[in-house]
Structure 1
Amino acid sequence: MKIPKAIRGNLLLKMTSLNAGVIVVRLFVAFFLQRELTEIVGKAGYAKIGSLRNLLSQLSSFTSLGVFTGIVKYVSEYKEDKEQLQKLFSTTFVFTIVGSVIAFVVLFFGAEQLSTYYFYDTEYAYVLKLLAVIVPFISIQRVFNGVVNGLSKYKSFAKIELFAYLLSAGLTLFLLYKNELDGALIAIALAPVIQVVVLLYIFVRVLREYVQFSKLNFKIPFAKQLLAFTAMSFVSTLLLNQVEIEIRNFITNKVSETEAGIWTGMTTLSKNYMVFAAALFNLYVIPKFAGIYTKSDFTKEVLNIYKTLLPLFGVGMLVIYFARQLFIDYVFIDFDEMNPLFKWQLLGDFVRLASLVLAHQFLAKKMVLNFIFTELFSLALFYVLSYFLLPVYGVEGVVIAHFIRYVLYFLVVLLLVMRYFRKKKKKEEKLA
C-alpha cells in the first residue's frame, strides 16, 4: 500500500503514522496487561507496581548520569564526525560506570530501607537487590536508545519499542499468573534486560558503525557538555518520579493505599498514550530544534508540530474520555473511582503536550537554567497544589492540580522562549 503524498512529504507525519501503528498495538497489549494486573494484584498491589515503575524511571536517568538527551543532541549534530562521536561515547562510558556502581551499592545494601519506602514493607527487598544486579542493563539501554533517537532512525526505534514491549508484557503475564504481585514486580524489574537484547539484535550493525567499542577509554573530553544535560535530567526525571512517589505516599497516608492505586491507574493510562509523544520529541523535535536558529523558523516549526499533533491527540483524548467507563469495566477492573479523574487528567495532558513542544527548545539549545527553573516550578506547583487539594477533593484534587500545573507551566515556558529570541535578536543587532 502506497503512503499518501501528504505523509511522504512530511517527516513528522511519516514518524507519526509509523509510530501510530506501533502505539495502537502497544495500547491493546497494555490494556489487556493492565486488566490482568488490576484484577489479580488489586488496587493496593497496583500502587506498589506504580512505585517500582517510578524507581525504574529514576534509575534510567541516574545510572547513565542523565546523558540521554545530550546523546540525542550530539549524535544528531556529529553523526558525520567520528572523532567527536568517539569523545562523546568515551565520556558516556565513564558516566555509565560511575552511575551504575553508585546505584548498585545503594540498592543492594539499602534494600530493606528502600523496600519500606517504596513498597511500605521490607518483604520486597529482594526486588531492590534484583534491580541492583540489573543496573548495567538499565544504563546501556538508555545510552543506546539515545543513539537511535539522535540518528532519527524512527523505523528501527518503532521495531525496538514494539518487540521489546511485547516480550516484556509476555514475561509479565507469565510471572503474574505464576506468582501474582511478586511475579509482576520481578517481570517489570527484568524489562531493561529484554530491551537491551532486542535493541542489540535489531540495531547492532548501526551501533558498530557509529560506536567504536574497542577504542572506548576512561577519558571524559565531553564531560562539560554532558554535565549540563545531567543536571536537566536529574531535575526532570529523578525529581518528577520522586514527586509522584511522595504524592502516592501522601495519598496512602492521608486516605488509603487503595486510593493511591486508583491514582496510579489514572497516571498509568496517561503514560501509555503520552509515550507516543515522547518518542516523537526525541526522534524529531530535539534534532529539529537543534538546527533552528531564527525566531521565524522556530515559530514555523512549532506551528507545523501543533498542526500535526494537537488535532490527533485531541481526537484521541475525546475518544478516551467518552469511552472512560469501558476502560474501567474492561481494563481497570473495579477501579470505578477513576471515572471523575479522566476529564482533569486528559485536559492536563493536552496542555502538557503543547507545553512540552516549546520546552524542548531548552533541551535542544542547552538552556540549562531555563529548563531547571521551569521544571522546578512545575514540580513544586504540582506537589503544593496536591497537598492542599487532596484533603478537599480527595484523589480528584491531585488530577485537578495536574491540570492547573500545566496551564501555568505553558505560560511560563512560552514567556521564556519568547525572551530567548528577543535577547538573541538584540545580541545580533549589537554585533551588526
Structure 2
Amino acid sequence: MTLIKTGLLNSIAVTIKILTLLGINKVLAIYVGPNGYAALGQFQNAIQMITTFASGAINTGVTKYTAEYIDDEIAQRKVWGTAGTLAIAGSLLGALIIVTCNETLARWFLNSQEYGGVFICFAASLVFFSFNTLLLAVLNGKKEIARYVLANIAGSVFSLVITSFMAINSGLYGALVALAVYQSFAFIVTLVLCCRSTWFKFAYFFSGFDVSIALNLSKYALMALASAACVPVSHMVVREYLGNTFGLQAAGYWEAMWRLSAAYLMLVTTTLSVYYLPRLSELKRVDEIKVEIMQGYRIILPIAAVSALIIYLLKDFIIITLFTRDFLPMRELFAWQMLGDTLKIGGWILAYLMLGKAMVKLFIISEVIFAAGFVVFTWAFTKIFGFQGVAIAHAVNYLLYWLVMAFFVWRNLLDQQAFMDNKISC
C-alpha cells in the first residue's frame, strides 16, 4: 500500500479522532476550565509512562517484526506469543503496584491523595490498555489498515462518549476516571475486529516465550522506555514550572495549546506510524529508503506547514469555538507553537528511520538530550520573553532536533551504503 493510499485511508480514522478530540476539548473547557486542564495533562502523562512500562514497551517492535516476518507466520506467532507474555506479566505487576501506591501516585501527579481512586480505576483497566495497544500494533504490522482504522475509530468514539458523560456529571474527577478506563471498552472492539481475520487466534498471544525474540524486542523496549520517561517527565516539569511562575491557569493554557497541536498534527503523525514504520522495516536497500524519506518531505511536510498556517490565521476563532473565552490568553503561544510543530514533523520523518532500523543508541541519546533541552529552553526563554517563551522553546528545540537528525541519520545511511558497496566489491 502506498503512502498516499495509506494516508487517505488513515485520514478517515484521524478525521473522526480529531473531531472527537475537539468535542472533548470543548466539554473539558466548559466543565473543568484552565486549572483542570493542567491536572488532566499531568494524569495523561502518568498514563503514558505507566502503560509503556506495563506493556513491556515492545509494541513498536511488534509492528516492526510483524512486518518484517510478513511471509513467515511461525516467526510472527513467536513474536506475538513473546509480546503477549510480556504484556500480561507487566500489566498484572503494574496494576498491583498502582493499587498499593494509589494515594502516593495521586500526590505525585495530581497534588492530592483524594484522587487515589482514579488510579485504582486505572489499575483495573491496565491489562486492557496493554492488549489493545498490542493488537493495534499487530494490525499495523500486518498492514490490516481497514481494521486498524475501525479500531481507532471505536477508541475515539468511546473516549468522546465516556469523557463527556463523566466530565458533565462529575467534573474533573469524572474526566480523570474517563481517561483511566475508556481504552478498556476500545479493547473489546479491537478484539472483535481481529477475531474476524483468518490469521488471528487469541491463543497465539499466549503460545510461549522466545528468548531470541525477546532480545530483539528489547531494543524497541529501550527506545520506548526512553520516550516514556523523557517526554512526559519533561512536560510535567515544564507544566509545574509554568504553574509556579505564571500561575496554574497559564499551565492550563499551555496544556490546551499542546492538545490542539496534537489534534491537528494527528493526520501526519499517525500516517508516519501506520505507513513509515512498517515500510522502513521492510526496506533493505539504502536508495529505496532515501526515496521513501524524500517522498515524506514532498507530501507530509507541506501538509503540516499549511495546516499550521491555517491554525495560526484562525487562532481567535479556534480558541472561542473549541475552548472558551477564558482561554484567549493562549493566543500569544500560537505563532511559535505552529512553527515548532512544522519543524517537529521535519525531524520526525527522519526519526522514524531510527525506529525502523533499530538505531537504539542514537534514539535514546536524542530523546534524553532534547527532552532536557525543552526544559532548559523553557526556563531560559520565559526569563526573557515571559509566558510566550515556552512556545519559543518548543520551536528552537525542534529546529535543533531536525538538524541533528539530518546529520546523524543521513550519516548512518551513508555508512550502510559504503558497507554494502565494500561487500559487493569483495
> TM-score category by the smaller chain?
over 0.9
Question: Which of these residues, 243, 251, 258, is aligned with residue 234 of structure 2?
Answer: 243
| TM-score of the two chains, using structure 1 as the length reference | 0.93
Partner deviation per Cα, 1:268-318 (whole Å, 9 max, x = no partner): 111112222232122210111122233322222111122121222222222
Letter in 2 for 1:123: E
In structure 2, distance between residues paired with 1:308 and 1:337:
33
1:278 is aligned to 269
Where does residue 326 of structure 1 map in the other structure?
317
| Structure 2 residue 9 is matched with structure 1 residue 18 | yes
The answer to whether structure 1 residue 58 and structure 2 residue 49 are counterparts is: yes
Are the aligned partners of 2:81 and 2:205 in contact in 1 as well (CA < 8 Å)? no
Contact 1:72/1:282 (8 A) holds in 2: no
Partner letter of residue 272 of structure 2?
F
Identity of aligned residues (%): 26
Q: 2:393 aligns with which of 378, 384, 401?
A: 401
1:206 maps to 197
Query: How far apart are 1:367 and its partner, in Å?
Result: 1.0
Separation in structure 1 between the aligned mates of residue 205 and residue 170 of structure 2, nearest angstrom: 42
Amino acid corresponding to residue 309 of structure 2 in structure 1: L
CA 1:81–1:109: 2 relative to 1, 3 Å? same
Specify every segment of 5 or more residues in structure 2 that has no aligned partner in the other structure, as ranges.
none
Alignment match, 2:224: 233
Rounded Cα–Cα distance in structure 2 between residues aligned with 1:60 and 1:343: 33
Q: Of 404, 411, 419, which aligns to 1:419?
A: 411
Which of the numbers 285, 293, 297 marks the counterpart of 2:288? 297
Cα distance, 1:395 vs structure 2: 2.9
Q: Give the count of matched residue pairs.
A: 423
The C-alpha deviation readout for 1:324-345, integer Å capped at 9, x for no partner, is 1011111121111110111111
Which segment is superposed worse, 119-128 or 421-430?
421-430
Cα 1:429–1:12 shift into 2, 3 Å: closer
TM-score (norm 2): 0.94
Tell me the SS of whatever aligns to 2:420: helix
Determine if contact 2:62/2:141 at 8 Å carries over to the other structure: yes
Q: Distance in 2 between matches of 1:85 and 1:296?
A: 27
- 1:390 corresponds to 2:382: yes
SS at match of 1:206: coil
Aligned pairs (5 A) from 1:123-142: 123-142=114-133
Q: Structure 1: which 5+ residue stretches go unaligned?
A: 1-9
Are 1:40 and 2:31 matched, yes or no? yes
**1: CA distance, partners of 2:292 / 2:77:** 31
- CA RMSD for the aligned pairs? 1.8
Change (3 A) 1:182 1:397: same
Whether the 8 Å CA contact 1:382–1:402 is kept in 2: the answer is yes
Distance 1:214 1:299 in 2: 35
Counterpart CA distance in 2 for 1:233 and 1:30 is 24
Partner Cα separation in structure 1 for residue 212 and residue 241 of structure 2:
43
> Of 335, 339, 349, which aligns to 1:343?
335
Q: Larger deviation: 142-151 or 294-303?
A: 294-303
Q: Which residue matches 1:68?
A: 59
CA distance in 1, matches of 2:47, 2:266: 15
- Distance in 2, matches of 1:130 and 1:420, equals 45
How far 1:208 moved relative to its partner? 5.2
> 1:75 Cα shift?
0.4
Using the alignment, how far apart are the partners of 1:357 and 1:85 within structure 2?
A: 27
Counterparts of 2:264 and 2:75, CA distance in 1: 36
Residues 68, 142 of structure 1: 8 Å contact kept: yes
Task: Note if contact 1:266-1:341 (Cα within 8 Å) is conserved in structure 2.
Answer: yes
Q: Which residue in 1 is equivalent to 2:143?
A: 152
1:214 and 1:132, CA in 2 relative to 1: closer, same or farther beyond 3 A?
Answer: closer
